[in-house]
Amino acid sequence: MIVKSKGIVLSYMKYGDTSIIARIFTEEGGYGSYIVNSIRSQKSKKSIGYFQPFTILDLILYVKETRDLQRVSEFKSHYPLHHIHQDLMKSSITLFLTEVFSKLLQSEQSPNPELYAFAEDSIKIFDQLKDGVSNFHLQFLLKIGPFLGYAIDDIDNVYSSTNRLSPSNENQEIMDMLMKESYGYETKMTREARNDMLDGILEYYQHHAHIAKPKSLEVLRSVLN
C-alpha cells in the first residue's frame, strides 16, 4: 500500500552497504522504522542530510501491514530548517529531545494527528527561536504530556509520582510559567535549578512511560552549563 504523509525524522542507523533505517514519526501512521535504500551510495541523487534529527519531510511510503519495517519510496523537504542543525545549543537540545521523544513514542504506532501537529509546530518555532532557547527542552517536555496521555495539570503532579522532593516555591513558579507560556519564555535560573527541573520531568516520564535515562543527557548539560 502506498501512503503519502508528512514525517519528522528522529534518528537513523546504517543498514547494509548503502542504506539506512530511519525512525520517523509520521502524521498518517505514527512512529515507525523505515528503510531508505541507497541513500549512502555515491550515486545517490539526494543527501543523507535529509535524515538529520527533527527534519520535516514529505514522504511517499510503501507500507505492508504484515511487516514491522516499512520502506520510504520517495521523500523531499517539507519545511527547510535553517538554524537547528547549525547552532551548537540548538543541535544539542535537538539530539536530546529526539532521543527522549523516540522513547515516549514507542507506544504511538498508530496515528496521533494532534501530537504530530504539536511536534511539527514546536520544531518550526524552535528553528526560528531567539529568546529562551536554553529553556526549550523543558517547555517541550512539559507541554507534550497531554498529547501522550500524561496530563500535567500542575507541577505538583510531576513530583508527586516520583521520589524527588518538591522544588522550592520559586522554582515551582518558574516551572508553572514554562509550562503555560509560549516558547521563548525567558527567566533567570541557576544551573542547579535547571538540572533539578529536568531531572524531575524525566523521572515523571520514567515512572509513567517506563523510559530509560537518555544517553545524551550529559552532553546536553555540558553544553548548557
Q: What is the DSSP string of 93-147?
A: HHHHHHHHHHHHGGG--S--HHHHHHHHHHHHHHHH--SSGGGHHHHHHHHHHHH
Give residue-wise pLDDT tens across range 56-75: 999 999 988 777 789 999 99
**Percentage of the chain lying above the pLDDT 90 cut:** 66
Q: Which amino acid is at 33?
A: S
* 1 burial level (CB within 10 Å; 0-12, 13-18, 19+): exposed
User: Which domains does the chain possess?
Assistant: 2-79 (2.40.50.140), 88-224 (no CATH)
Report pTM. Answer: 0.93
- Which cell numbers in the block locate residue 148? 501522550
Closest by alpha carbon to 78, among 26, 1, 136?
A: 26
Give residue-wise pLDDT tens across range 102-142: 999 987 778 899 999 999 999 999 999 999 999 999 999 99
